Amino acid sequence: MLTTFSFWGQIARLPKRIGSGDTSCARISIRAPCFLAVRQRSPQFSLVHRASFNSNHNQSTRGTIMAERELIDKDKLVLRGLQFHGFHGVLQEEKTLGQKFIVDVDAWMDLSTAGETDNISDTVSYTDIYRIVKDVVEGPSQNLLESVAHRIASATLLKFPQISAVRVEVGKPHVAVQGIINYLGVEILRYRKDMLGNSSGASLS
């Protein structure tokens, strides 16, 4: 690394070393600027630390970024604002009285063939995915929204091999919090490749 200093005046002689760097400067006339270049060695540990930090940071974010980029600009089916009355929750009142749940679903698949043929057999019907969501949310009580969302995603991927990934968001508008909210909930993203050989939680019974 080079650090440059400038000053005015006449230079008769310069020391051979300043600090830890080599220096040199020619004789100059009065009132002419002189620029002194000092080469400084950065401590070795700083380079190692910087490389280690960059490596750890990249590894921790690379998986998430790559997963998201796999779905950018891909075709998908979209279901928004599905509302059902279910009995999910940890509290006994939730299991007895029930409450409203709001569900959003994105299902990624290639829709180009359906776009060309205009044939329902070349795609997946929204109503079929809707029925899966309805069966899960209005079905047996689960303690956690994570379980509800997982069962929706698993059942969708198992029933429709054309779908490569599913995003499910499940929200509860009525929760015991002191504040104004639309809803609280969870959102999950599941890939077919990650679900292969793992059918746990997919059964709706």
Within 26-176, strands assigned E span: 33-39, 76-86, 99-108, 165-172
Look-up: residue for tokens 């400067």? 25
- Whether 101 and 84 have beta carbons less than 8 Å apart is answered as yes
CA distance 103 to 86: 12
No. of H helices and E strands in the chain?
Answer: 6, 8
Within 9-96, strands assigned E span: 17-18, 21-22, 33-39, 76-86
CA distances from 150 to 70, 94, 95 (A): 20, 20, 19
Listing DSSP states for 136-190 in one string gives HHTSS--S-HHHHHHHHHHHHHHH-TT--EEEEEEEES--S-SS--S-EEEEEEE
Catalytic (active site) residue 74: no
Catalytic member of 74, 100, 172, 193 = 172
Known catalytic residues are 172
